[in-house]
Structure formats: structure tokens, C-alpha cells
Chain A
């Protein structure tokens, strides 16, 4: 069964991170929230697999260690 990838999988992390922030550049909080929501929906659809999506939701819902 396929699993959520939790090891590094983005070839150039710095490039991606910069592109992510650039997409939000100059946006209001509301516009950024909307962009994030659209991004999540696009990526979720790309993944599609309900088990992987559930696992991603679980991982994202874990409280950061204090």
C-alpha cells in the first residue's frame, strides 16, 4: 500500500520554498488564505489516494512538540 512520503522528496528545497513565499508576496491575509486553500485542494486532488490524504491530515494535525 502506498504511504505518505515523509522523507525528502523535493529536488531543490530552497527553490520550492522561495517559490511558495513568492506566490504570497504582496497578498493580504485573506488573499493568502485563499491561495493556500486553492493550493491544498489542487495538491489533494493530485494525490487522490484517500489513505495518503488521511495520513497527511493526521501528520498535519499533530501538535508541534513544545
Chain B
């Protein structure tokens, strides 16, 4: 059987650019057709900005890699029209179990925030995720969207200019040159673009090795996330078991620092480890195995002139918490509308600096969470180990200790407090929808709140009548009594409220009463025009 990641899905095709007498100029070139590059390109094209994606490969990523996709990225995909297929294919899970030594010490349920269209998480192999995105691009192309993917197009040189970027691209038929008004580098943690531009990437390397094995098996394990601290089958280390679609299971085992990598990667040794974990009689097939080490690092600034970095090229975290792909997709969400506004002349270039401010803040938050998880999972000193085990011992008997257990703080969106784009807040409204926060979903009598927002500036008027038309802002009128969740998340005790929502569905400002001038001023500010 040919696996999905062995089939070229955007095979090399000669482009007219290769026969042009002079380099053709494009609005936006995205480098890298991974989850972040594809979402960036889809978002841009969705908003009418012509975009070309180039990738040195022609297939979806080999092996599963990212597997947990969180609620906020799924909501972003809903905005782009391709969330449903992900959720339909993905495995939805809510229950996590934590084991210490040979016993289960407690379980947790992520279902707390009911009244959202999307679950807290789905598990989906990265190759499926990418395939759905490419399928969506193919669909968009049939609808005339200005988007193109060029497989086996490898950027071999990049030149920075004041108002554009020059690229040399290698293909199976030789190299050619193109120019781009804007370049978005989504080319991964080892970003060749970043290296070609000589930009730094600094942080902390963790001295530990992890074995990932994606195995195909018919097993009775429930659809839950199981995490082991110091289990009998992997003494002194940790392990994770998680279900993906098509009977694929993700197993992640900590191996320690001093290992013989080649020896550990031998299938017979991997099988021995897996049998110790899954039972001697377990029947499984290895789909993909890899040993990885990781670092928590980021670029100092995610923009260099007309080059913008998004996803792992800009920041890298440990896998605990699923904060890699999920944060990269939120980079794309943050960047696309700003790039469109700058390209269309609706906003000054400085708006793109707010992309850096906001997403660097998010990267710092993710790195902090991920570093803390790593310290808990792999204690670095004797005393750290003693406290870790004490927390786990207490957690078995006492609820109070469970919030201290850190097997990965699962990805949640960053609230951009202090962003230069934020306008005024109004007293008494709920904290979770304050300026800088992503819009929180809520059920309406018909459908969901987020589906009413779309991807332009919106004035969400809840229980307050807006008498005017507003330039560049569409008014979304919603009754205050649509649902209890709506009132709880958006009104608190207030009878009504007005929210200015950005195209990436983050709250820009909010008021208790209609004030046309204040709204216009907040809109100017959110576009970086003042």
C-alpha cells in the first residue's frame, strides 16, 4: 500500500516564470508547504491576496509529527472554510490520565468549557492535516482564488531590498529567479531562509532524547491521553500514549541523554520497548519512528524588512503541550490580514511590527510553558526530582496537588495584553473577552457566534442598536439573550456591549455604549494608522 506521505501531491510543474525574460514579481511568496505555510497562503488567497507557495519537496510531511490540534486553530480553519474535514477525520478526546510508577493517580477532563462549536483538541496526523489543506487549495483554485503551490522548488538564494525580496529557486529543470513584494518564511526550525539572511535563533537546548513511534494496532485502549511518570516499562523516564485516526497510536518515550542513537533506532529494539509497554502479545506495525531532541528558542525579531517569519522558523518549543503547529497557525492568522492591509494600502508597513510584538509575546508564553513542563517531566536536579515525585504522590490522594502536575500545559491562545493595536476596555465586562483576546465562541439560537464574524473588521453589537453605517467595519447585530454562554462570556452583568473585532477575530476594543468617534479611533489604532 502506498502511504499518503509517499505520494507526490504537488508534483513539479514548469512555471511560466521559468521562461520569463526577466524575474516575475509576486505580491507574496511563502516558503514552505507545512501546516503554517499552507494556512498562511490559504488565508492570504482567501482575502484576495495573490500568493505563491514554494517547497523543496512535493509531498506531505513524512511521518506524523504534530498530532494535537487545538480549538483556536480549528476555529481559524473554520474561518478559512476547511475546519470541518479536520474535525470529521480527527479523533476527539477529552479525558487525560496520569500514571506514576505502576498506578493511575488521577484523570482530567477537558470538557469544562461547553458551549463551543469545536472541541478542546483533536488528534490528527500532520500528513492528513497537510493533505486537507492542499485539497482546500485545489478547491480554492477551481473557484479562481489566486494561489499556487510549486513543488520541488527550493530557494537557493535570497536578496533583501528596501521594498522587495529577490529569490533564486532551484528546480529539477534548473534554477530561475523571481521577486516578491513580501516573503513569508515558514520553512521550519532549521529555516534555510533564516540562515541565508544570517539571523540568529537562540535559546535553551534540552539534554534529552525522545523516541516517537507511530504504530498501527487494533487495541482496546480508550480514546484518552495517557501519560506516565517513571513507569515500570521505562524506569526513571516518562511515556505518552495517544490515539490518532486509522488505528495509529502515538507513543512517545523519554530515553535520557546518554544513548546510542543508532542502536535505539533499530526496529528490534523499538519493538522490545513497545512490547514492554503494550504487553508481550500486542500486535502492531511500526508506521514511523524517530528520535528527537529539542530546544526552546526564538528569533529576536520575526520580521527583517520585507521578510516575515512564522511558525517553527521563528520559534521552537518542546513538544509538551502541542504548542508548535498550534502557535504557528495562530502566527498565520495574525499575519495574513495585516499583510493584506499593508499590500492594499489600508495600513502603514508599521502594522507588521505589531505582528512581531504580538507573536513574540505568544512565543515567549509558549516557551515559558514548555520549559516548565520539561522541568517537571525531566527534573534536572536531585531536589527538583524530589519535589516532582512529592507532587505526584500527593496528587493521587489530594485534589490540591493535581494542578501542580505538569505533563504539558496544553495549547491555548495568547491574549495580547498591552498590544499597540488594543483600544479602550470597558469596566465590568468579562476578562476572557478583553482587548487582545481571541473572540470566544458561544452558541446562538441559530449557529455559532464565530461564524458570524468572518474575516474583516466587525462591530459586534450585543443587545445595543447601532444606528450608523461605519466605513470599513461591518456591524454584526446579536441579541443579548441568544444564550447563557454568550451573556457569560461577552456581557458579564451588562445589558449590552459593543466589541470591535479584528479580521483575525481578536478583540480590539469594547464599550458599554455606542460612540461613533471612539469606534472610528479604535479602528484607526487597530490598523496601525495612529
Chain A residues engaging chain B, CB cutoff 8 angstroms? 33-34, 37-38, 40-42, 45
- Beta-carbon contact of B400 and A45 below 8 Å: yes
Q: Is B386 at the interface (CB under 8 A from chain A)?
A: yes
B residues 379-395 in Cβ contact with A at 8 Å: 383, 386-387, 389-391, 393-394
Interface presence of B401 (CB below 8 A): yes
Encoded as 1 (CB less than 8 Å from any A CB) or 0, chain B from 364 to 402 comes to 000000000000000000010011011101100000110
| Bound Cα distance A38, B404 (Å) | 12
Q: Which residue of the partner chain B has the closest CB to A30?
A: B386
Q: Give 23 CB contacts A-B under 8 Å.
A: A33-B383, A33-B386, A34-B386, A34-B389, A34-B393, A37-B386, A37-B387, A37-B389, A37-B390, A38-B390, A38-B393, A38-B394, A40-B387, A40-B390, A41-B387, A41-B390, A41-B391, A41-B394, A41-B401, A41-B404, A42-B394, A45-B400, A45-B401
User: Interface SS of chain B: helix, strand, loop or mixed?
Assistant: helix
Interface residue range, chain B = 10 to 19
CA distance in complex: A39, B7 (Å): 58
Q: Which residues of A are found within 8 Å of B400, using beta-carbon distances?
A: 45
Contacts of B387 in A (CB 8 A): 37, 40-41
Interface residues of B (CB under 8 A from A): 383, 386-387, 389-391, 393-394, 400-401, 404
Q: Which residues of A contact B386 (CB under 8 A)?
A: 33-34, 37
User: A4 to nearest B CB, angstroms?
Assistant: 20
A24→B401 CA distance, assembly (Å): 22
How far apart are A35's CB and chain B's nearest CB, in angstroms?
A: 8
With most chain A CB atoms within 10 A of its CB, the pick from B387, B390, B393, B404 is B390
CB distance from A61 to the nearest CB of B (A): 13
Chain A residues whose CB sits within 8 angstroms of the CB of B394 once the complex forms: 38, 41-42
Nearest CB in chain A to that of B393: its residue? A38
Complex alpha-carbon distance, A41 and B383, angstroms? 13
User: What is the interface of chain A mostly: helix, strand, loop, or mixed?
Assistant: helix
Given contacts A37-B387, A38-B394, A42-B394, 14 further A-B contacts (CB under 8 A): A33-B383, A34-B386, A34-B389, A34-B390, A34-B393, A37-B386, A37-B390, A38-B393, A40-B390, A41-B390, A41-B394, A41-B401, A41-B404, A45-B400
- Taken together as a complex, chains A and B put the C-alpha atoms of A38 and B393 apart, in Å, by 8
Among residues of A, the one whose C-beta sits closest to the C-beta of B389 is: A34
CA distance A37 to B382 in the complex (A): 12
What residue in chain B is nearest A37 (Cβ atoms)? B390
Residues in B with CB closer than 8 Å to A41 are: 387, 390-391, 394, 401, 404
Q: How far is the CB of B314 from chain A (nearest CB, A)?
A: 32
Nearest CB of B to A64, in Å: 19
Nearest-neighbour CB distance to chain A for B307, whole angstroms, equals: 42
Could you tell me the distance between the alpha carbons of A41 and B395 in the complex, rounded to whole angstroms? 11
CA distance A41 to B389 in the complex (A): 11
Nearest B-chain residue to A38, judged by Cβ: B390
B382 CB to closest chain A CB (Å) equals: 8
- Per the bound structure, the CA–CA distance linking A25 and B140 in Å amounts to 73
In Å, the complex CA distance between A38 and B391 comes to 7
What B residues does A45 contact at CB under 8 A? 400-401
CB B273 to nearest CB in A, in angstroms, measures: 28
The 5 closest A-B pairs by CB, nearest first: A37-B390, A38-B390, A45-B400, A37-B386, A37-B387
Most chain-B Cβ atoms within 10 A of its Cβ — which of A41, A42, A45? A41
Q: Which residue of A lies closest to B387 (CB)?
A: A37
Interfacial chain B residues near A34, Cβ < 8 Å: 386, 389-390, 393
CB distance from B380 to the nearest CB of A (A): 16
Q: For the complex formed, measure the closest distance between the CB of B315 and the CB atoms of chain A, giving whole angstroms.
A: 28
Complex: A37 Cα to B388 Cα, angstroms: 9
Residues of A within 8 A of B401 (CB): 41, 45
Cα–Cα, bound, A21→B363 (Å) = 47
What residue of chain A has the Cβ atom nearest to residue B382's Cβ? Answer: A33
Closest CB of chain B to A23's CB: distance in Å?
14
| Chain A proximity of B375: nearest CB distance (Å) | 15
- Nearest CB of chain A from residue B160's CB, rounded to whole Å: 47
CA distance A42 to B383 in the complex (A): 17
CA A34 to CA B389, docked complex, whole Å = 8
Give every chain A residue within 8 A of B391 (Cβ-Cβ).
Answer: 41
A21 → chain B, closest Cβ, in Å? 19
Question: What's the least CB distance linking B516 to chain A, in Å?
Answer: 43
Residues of A within 8 A of B383 (CB): 33
The distance in angstroms between the C-alpha atoms of A12 and B423, with both chains bound, is: 57
Question: Measured between alpha carbons, how far is A33 from B385 in the docked complex, in Å?
Answer: 11
CA distance A41 to B397 in the complex (A): 13
A48 to B393, CA, bound (A): 20
Residues in A whose Cβ lies below 8 Å from that of B389: 34, 37
Name which of B383, B400, B404 has the most chain A CB atoms within 10 A of its CB.
Answer: B400
A29 to B419, CA, bound (A): 51
Shortest beta-carbon distance from B386 to chain A in Å: 5
Q: Which residues of A contact B393 (CB under 8 A)?
A: 34, 38
CA distance A40 to B401 in the complex (A): 12
Most chain B beta-carbon contacts within 10 A, residue among A33, A37, A45: A37
- Which residues in B have their C-beta under 8 angstroms from that of A42? 394
Query: Measured between alpha carbons, how far is A38 from B387 in the docked complex, in Å?
Result: 8
Q: Which residues of B contact A37 (CB under 8 A)?
A: 386-387, 389-390
With both beta carbons as reference points, the residue of chain A lying nearest to B390 in the complex is identified as: A37
B376: min CB distance to chain A, Å: 13
The distance in angstroms between the C-alpha atoms of A33 and B391, with both chains bound, is 13
